[in-house]
Structure formats: C-alpha cells, structure tokens
Amino acid sequence: MEPSVIGMYGFSAAIVLLAMRVPIGYVLVSVASVCSLVAYAWRPGGDFTFMRGLRPALGLIESNAYDFIHSYPLSMIPLFIAAGHIAYHSRITTDIYEAMRVWLAKLPGGLAIASLFGCGGFAAITGSSLACASSMGRICVPEMLRFGYSQQLATSTVAMGGTLGALIPPSVLFIIYGMFTEQSVNKLFLAGILPGLLSLAGFILVVVVWSLVRPSAAPVPKDLNFTRKERLNAAIKAWPALMLMIIIIGGIYGGLFTATEAAAISLAFALGFGVLSRRLTWADFMASMRETAYQSAGLFFIAVGAKIFVSFVSLTGVTGVLVEAVAAAGFENWMVLLCIVLLYVGLGMFLDPLGTMLLTLPFVIPLVENMGLDLIWFGVIVIKLLEVGLVTPPVGLNVFVIKSVISREIPVHTIFFGVMKFMVVDLIVVGLLLAFPIISLLLPMSMS
C-alpha cells in the first residue's frame, strides 16, 4: 500500500476516535504506532509482513519518546504549572481581581471589567485557560450575580477572560507549539503579548457597550464606596502578581534569562512569597505539587504521542503529497490561510485545543513553510483560533468549566448566548492578526 494512503487513513482514524471522545494521548499513540507498523510491514507492491514492520516501528516509538522526554525546553512546563498553582494557593492571583474590583467597581460594568483584568493577570501567571476559568469563575461570577449582574454577562465575561491564558505568556500551548515547530519559545511568548492585550481591550469594549445599551445587565453598585486608602492598599497587595509578570515578560524581553529560567525564577518567587507571607501552608504546597504532577504527566503523555504521530506523518510522506496538491491547484496564499482558519474553527467546535493543535500541525506547518510565511506569526494565529474554540459550541470547554463551578442553576445555553456577543470581537482580532502580522511580530523583532 502507498505510504501516503496509510497516512490519510491514520489521520481519518484519529479524527473519528477524537470525535468519539477518546482521550487525545491514547489516540495519537495508538494511531501512530499501528499505522507506522503497517507502513513498515506493507511496502508498496508487496505483501503485508508483520514481523518485518515490528522492529522498525518499535524503534520509531522508542527513539521519539526518549528524545522528546529528555529535551531541555520541556522542563519549563512543570515549572510554570507549579508556579501557577502555588500563586493560586498563596492568593497572588486573587489579589489582582480584588485590586481591580476596588478601583473599577463604580464604573458601568466595572465588576465585569475587573473580572477580565483578573483573568488576564491570572493567565499571565498560570498559562492555563481552563485553570483560569475554573478559579476565577468561583470568585468573580458569584460576586457579579450578588450585585445584580445578568447571568449572561457574569458568566460569559469569565468564560471569555479565561481564554486569555492561551495568548498571554506563559502559555503551555505556545511552549508545545514551539517545540514541535522548532521555534523560539521566547519569541512566541513575546509575540502573544500584543494580541493578548488587543483581545483583552476588545472584551472590555464589549462589556462597556453591553452595560451602556442595557444598564440593567450591569447595575452600578451603590453600597461600594472605597476610600483612597483602601484603593491604595488594594493596589499594593497586588505587587507580587505584578512582580511575576515582570519576571516572565520583562525578563525574557530584556534578555535577562530564557523562558525556562523565567519559569524557575517565577516558581522560586511564588514559593518564597507564599512561605514568608504565611499564606502557603504545607497542605497547600503538597496540593500544588500533586496538581502539578497530574497535569505535567498528562501533558507529557500527550506530547510524546504527538511526537510519535509527527514521525509517522513524516514516514508516510502525506504532507509532501498535500503540499504538491495545493501548489498544483494554484491557490493563492490567502485562500490557503482561509482554509486553515476554517479548519481550526471547525475542529474547535468538537475537539479540545491541545488535541486540535497536535493533530493538525504535521499537516499545516509544511503548507505554511511552503508559502514562505513566518512561523512565529502563524503560531499566534493558531493559538488565537484555539482560543476561539474554547468557547465555541457545542464543546466550548471554558463554558462547561464555568457551568461546573457555579452553584446556581444557569443553563449552558445562557452562557453560550453571552459568549456570542464577545465572539464578534474575537473574529475581528483574528482578521487584524492575519492582515497585519506586525501586531504579532513587533516585540519579537525588537528583541532580536
């Protein structure tokens, strides 16, 4: 059988298994292993010989798994995850929201805007969209509902704010993208800053317009009168979060250290602050380590599966056939990019972001390279589209996370209806990033 045909069968099988809700790690490992065995055992024009394909297939699996796990950049993932968990248990992340709540509460939609800032700050520390939606959902949504905010605005604001974790560094998705495309994680982190801030500004604009058009959805609290001293104290309490952002963003941009070193220093700072301030108990520390171990192990297994899958795709040569077919068809670059955008939006409706990215990168990266486009810029586009998938029905993970953490009986469709108001801004941001690559590349270019 032709290797490229095996490659297409393998990709189709992976899509079907993921649609059946089989975990992404198992899908990538099983499909890549079985199809690699078939590719080695069933040479073109020959018969299928199981033993002929067994040894090279096992060698491919072993070498890729070993080499990937022993890669130095991979160490930043557990470091950033641990820093995020310790920052959460030390209440560093919640201090951001409290500070913004005090400063913005009297503005129209002020609590919702404070929630967006809190989510942005949380994302800049933890790098996890789902963790952001889960943690901030428990804090922000009940607070907004208590002051009379509409269910749609309260829940959708936090659901959208949680997606900022995919763009604002440190982002786990950026780390994995950089490792698989052999791009600088430092530059990817910097490339995500302006698009992340642009998305945040767009979300704030939606809240302001929503509050002005429908004041009943975001009533101004009348019993929140903070003194100047209380505002100052709230701002001062947020200094550890600001310091973590400076370490991660300022340290990398200033060339003081690499992303991996920034992860280690962030963890040390969060741990030191938690211990010295007596906010971090031994039980909290052990809980943070357990959560870090679980998440890191899951991500490593998925990443190893993806590495084996990439090798399988390369073995079958299916990407070369795809590139040649696109070139022969004479498609313009914008047509190919439009198809890629539609692919990610479509898959995002049904698959989780990490699964979508790892499944598609082996196929779309050769196309983008063949068009001569910048992979740092394209990485921002991919992550932004994955961010959109986090809130797109019917499987918007952030929406279901919010639904799971709030105690009130708020229907899922209520959250989705609220999210749709923000989606207009998200699509505009995607269009701007596609039309003006300088938005993504300005900071990485200035660094170099």
Average pLDDT, the chain: 84
pLDDT in tens, 429-445: 999 999 999 999 998 88
Stretch 368-376: mean pLDDT: 89
DSSP of 222-253, one letter per residue?
SS----HHHHHHHHHHTHHHHHHHIIIIIHHH
Task: Quickly list H helices, 20-75.
Answer: 24-41, 50-69
pLDDT computed for residue 378 by the predictor: 94
pLDDT band at 272 (very low <50, low <70, confident <90, very high): very high
Q: How far, in Å, CA of 361 to CA of 382, rounded?
A: 9
Q: Which residue has the higher pLDDT, 138 or 124?
A: 138
pLDDT computed for residue 407 by the predictor: 60
One-letter amino acid of 347 = L
List Cα–Cα distances, 100 to 130, 194, 232, 254, 263, in angstroms.
21, 21, 11, 27, 26
Buried b (16+ CB within 10 A) or exposed e, 205-231: ebbbebbeeeeebbebbeeeeeeeeee
pLDDT computed for residue 448 by the predictor: 58
Stretch 283-303: mean pLDDT: 87
Determine whether 405 is exposed, middle or buried from the number of CB atoms within 10 Å of its CB (0-12, 13-18, 19+).
middle
pLDDT computed for residue 436 by the predictor: 93
pLDDT in tens, 323-364: 777 777 777 888 888 888 888 888 877 777 887 888 888 888
pLDDT band at 65 (very low <50, low <70, confident <90, very high): confident
pLDDT band at 381 (very low <50, low <70, confident <90, very high): very high
This prediction has a pTM of 0.85
User: Quick check: 322 pLDDT over 80?
Assistant: no
